[in-house]
């Protein structure tokens, strides 16, 4: 299967962001240019919901890319992390006869039937952010991040920093059954294998700040602040919730209990600068321009890559301080 890797900074250049230090990697998947027909393209976008700062930035990126100025009529639906509602939204797009569907699936499984319905109707589907377990014949392309590599990057840093000494770790998982939760767990676990880091508990916080706070409160009640050395959060919002719980318990996040997270949204990066989070792996949410380009290319009958990966960066406290003022999300 062919893959294309695009650097995270190239995404920022493609979106003409003014952030300093942007550079192009030369990737050209998802051109985003005019289709040449002059016709408006109607696209149904089935978003997961608005569970996090990352998701909000991702939605804004999609709405900007699929704008009327760019030749699109966007039909937007956010399913509030309800898989049945999201499947119903995709069926509604099919019944409306949209030209294409962009789907950020809440979970990996259960998409075979509705994707087949879209294929039977001649409506191409582009997956965005998350993946599905259905046959790849049922969608035209996928654009997003390498979640397993994100987990590996986070785990490698944990292994280097804490792997030589006994370290009790708890995990704040993302939505159960979702690709980022599954892959970030697998990547991290592989990276810390053979170290002295022990995962003593793991529970889903559904990628939400409230969920992360509630789960962390439970861990603190069960093990005490002295019984937890490290928190691995599958996203920044859950890490920020964990910070609230740790502080309420009278401990110091980033010192008494170390925190590693994934996303690198503005609030998370600020917590990293402030020393309350110790390390963050980026998950770039600005995928709209690439998704819009793929839609245009597919509808124009052009060959596209089956998988378009965006490369992520990572940040220590010092590195976050250098870039936070120029972050677009």
Smallest CA-to-CA distance from 6 within 305, 317, 315 is with: 305
Q: Partners of 171 in the beta sheet?
A: 202, 232
Write down the pLDDT at residue 38: 58
Query: Is residue 320 situated within a structural domain?
Result: no
Task: Beginning with the edge strand found earlier in the chain, give each strand of the sheet holding 141-145 in spatial order.
Answer: 3-7, 307-311, 141-145, 125-128, 100-103, 41-47, 72-78
Whether 277 and 157 share a structural domain:
yes
Write down the pLDDT at residue 328: 80
Q: CA angle 295-288-130, nearest 5°?
A: 85
Query: Is residue 322 situated within a structural domain?
Result: no
Q: How many domains does the chain have?
A: 2
Whether 40 and 135 share a structural domain:
yes
Which string of b and e fits 239-253 if b means at least 16 CB within 10 Å? bbbbbbbbeebebeb
Return the percentage of the chain with pLDDT > 70, whole number.
88
Distance CA 157, CA 171 (A): 15
Whether 272 and 307 share a structural domain:
no
DSSP state of 257: B
Judge whether residue 110 has pLDDT over 70: yes
- This prediction has a pTM of 0.82
Judge whether residue 261 has pLDDT over 90: yes
Query: Is residue 89 situated within a structural domain?
Result: yes
DSSP state of 44: E
Using one digit for the tens of pLDDT, what is the confidence trace for 134-174?
999 999 999 999 999 999 999 999 999 999 999 999 999 99
Q: Which residue's entry shows tokens 């006869």? A: 97
Query: Is residue 294 situated within a structural domain?
Result: yes
């Amino acid at each position: 299967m062919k893959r294309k890797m695009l650097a995270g900074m190239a995404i920022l250049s493609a979106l003409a962001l003014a952030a300093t230090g942007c550079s192009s990697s030369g990737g050209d998947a998802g051109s985003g240019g005019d289709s040449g027909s002059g016709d408006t393209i109607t696209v149904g976008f089935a978003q997961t919901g608005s569970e996090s700062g990352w998701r909000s930035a991702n939605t804004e990126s999609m709405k900007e890319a699929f704008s009327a100025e760019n030749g699109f009529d966007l039909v937007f639906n956010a399913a509030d992390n309800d898989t049945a509602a999201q499947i119903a939204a995709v069926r509604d797009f099919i019944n409306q006869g949209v030209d294409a569907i962009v789907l950020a699936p809440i979970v990996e499984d259960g998409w075979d039937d509705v994707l087949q319905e879209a294929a039977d109707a001649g409506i191409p589907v582009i997956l965005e952010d998350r993946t599905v377990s259905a046959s790849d014949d049922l969608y035209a392309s996928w654009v997003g991040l390498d979640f397993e590599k994100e987990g590996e990057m986070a785990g490698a840093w944990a292994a280097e920093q804490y792997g030589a000494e006994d370290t009790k770790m708890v995990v704040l998982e993302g939505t159960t059954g979702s690709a980022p939760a599954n892959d970030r767990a697998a990547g991290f676990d592989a990276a810390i294998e053979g170290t002295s880091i022990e995962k003593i508990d793991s529970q889903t916080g559904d990628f939400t700040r409230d969920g992360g706070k509630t789960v962390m409160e439970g861990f603190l009640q069960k093990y005490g602040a002295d019984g937890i050395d490290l928190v691995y959060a599958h996203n920044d919002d859950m890490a920020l919730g964990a910070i609230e719980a740790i502080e309420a318990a009278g401990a110091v996040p980033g010192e008494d209990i170390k925190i590693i997270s994934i996303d690198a949204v503005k609030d998370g990066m600020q917590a990293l600068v402030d020393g309350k989070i110790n390390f963050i792996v980026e998950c770039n949410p600005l995928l709209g321009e690439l998704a819009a380009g793929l839609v245009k290319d597919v509808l124009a009958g052009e060959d596209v890559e089956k998988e378009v990966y965006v490369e992520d960066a990572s940040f220590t406290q010092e590195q976050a301080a250098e870039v936070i003022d120029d972050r677009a999300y």
